[in-house]
Structures are given as C-alpha cells and as structure tokens.
C-alpha cells in the first residue's frame, strides 16, 4: 500500500512543475540559479518518473 507521503510529494511536485512551466525562459534560469536545491529536487523527481514510465511501458531501455 502506498503511503500518504507519496501522494503529498507527488502533489507538491506537480505544483512546482506547473509553476516552473508558467515562467518565461529568463525567469526559469533565474529560479534555477537562485534555488539550486529546489531545482535539483524537482528535476530529480521528474527524472525518476520518466524512468518509471519507460520501465512500465517498454519493460527495458530502448523499447521494442
């Protein structure tokens, strides 16, 4: 069973991603340079989700 922490973290990352996407390119660069820890957390989370998706949909890297 998945804990409530998982859903809270997922919701938090979704909000951060939505905020990031709404920024201009210049604002994104400023946000990354002024908040490196938050940027690392967001991008690490997204990278993990992409890896999970690849494994779930293709079964391995490279696809079929």
63 domain residue, yes or no: no
End-to-end CA distance of the chain, in Å?
Answer: 31
64 domain residue, yes or no: no
Give the chain's domain count: 1
pLDDT category at 2 given cuts 50, 70, 90 is low
Examine the pLDDT at 58 and tell me if it is beyond 80: no
Helix axes 25-34, 36-58, angle to 10 degrees: 110
How many angstroms separate the CA atoms of 12 and 17, rounded? 9
Helix axes 36-58, 4-22, angle to 10 degrees: 110
CA atoms within 13 Å, Cβ hemisphere of 15: 7
Per-residue model confidence as pLDDT tens digits over 32-41: 899 888 888 8
- Look up the domain containing 25 and give its range: 4-58
Per-residue model confidence as pLDDT tens digits over 3-54: 677 777 778 888 888 888 899 999 999 988 998 888 888 888 877 776 666 6
């Amino acid at each position: 069973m998945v804990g409530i922490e998982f859903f809270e973290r997922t919701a938090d990352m979704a909000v951060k991603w939505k905020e990031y996407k709404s920024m201009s390119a210049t604002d994104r660069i400023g946000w990354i340079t002024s908040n490196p820890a938050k940027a690392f957390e967001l991008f690490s989370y997204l990278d993990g989700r992409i890896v999970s998706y690849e494994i779930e949909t293709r079964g391995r890297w490279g696809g079929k």
